Amino acid sequence: MSSGTNPSAARIVSVKPLENKDARWLNLVQIEYLTPDGQTRQWEAIHRTTTPKSSPGGVDSVHIIAVRSCSSDPSRKEILLEKQFRPPAGKVCIEFPAGLVDPNESIETCALRELREETGYVGEVMGKVGGSMVMFGSPASSAAKTVFIHATIDTCKPENQTPVAELEDGEFIEPFWVPLANLHSQIRRLAEEGFAIDSKVGIYAEGLEMGRLLNGA
């Protein structure tokens, strides 16, 4: 991978205050609320400005938990992750494929579109229509909502043999596969190497590890 497309080549140049009137994606707001004992208090929070009114449940984004499947090797269980530079963290972050919901777009359509655009892979949705329960990503600072979609990617299919991403201008994403059985140790190794770990990936890995420990593995 050349330095021109390697996420690790990105760098922070400067950080400065931003007025809400100049912000495209987010606004800082002050929320006034009543506590259980009747006191009026204020809370600072971030609101996303691009959430479509048509989005089911007011969901802003979709995260895709995509597992490799192949009829010629059904025992091969790997999960798809991405490396992407995130300016707020100042580091390359380990993430699930994800993206914002477009107007009049279903959760499933968004998931498969983002998967194809960011990784080049063509996937199939698994499980319940509408994905997981609606979750707040950071409820202490934001009202942003997300859902998880489970998907499989049949890498034996011709369309997934040589995937080509359809990245937007300014996007530099490196997809990679990790064996599910080694996810926890691999995520810890990446953290030790200096990568930022998206909390959703970290919690998923910790959940798998807890299951392994409880089962005495």
Handedness of CA 127, 130, 132, 137 (dihedral sign): positive
Backbone angles phi, psi at 150, to 5 degrees: -90, 135
Nearest Cα neighbor of 186 from 111, 101, 68, 80 is 80
Per-residue pLDDT of the chain (217 residues; tens, 9 = 90+): 544 578 989 989 988 988 999 999 999 999 999 999 999 999 999 999 888 888 888 999 999 999 998 767 777 789 999 999 999 999 999 999 999 999 999 999 999 999 999 999 999 999 777 678 999 999 999 999 999 999 999 999 999 999 999 998 989 999 999 999 999 999 999 999 999 999 999 999 999 999 999 998 6
> For residues 44 and 28, what is the distance between their CA atoms, to the nearest angstrom?
7
203: part of which helix (H) or strand (E)?
helix 199-214
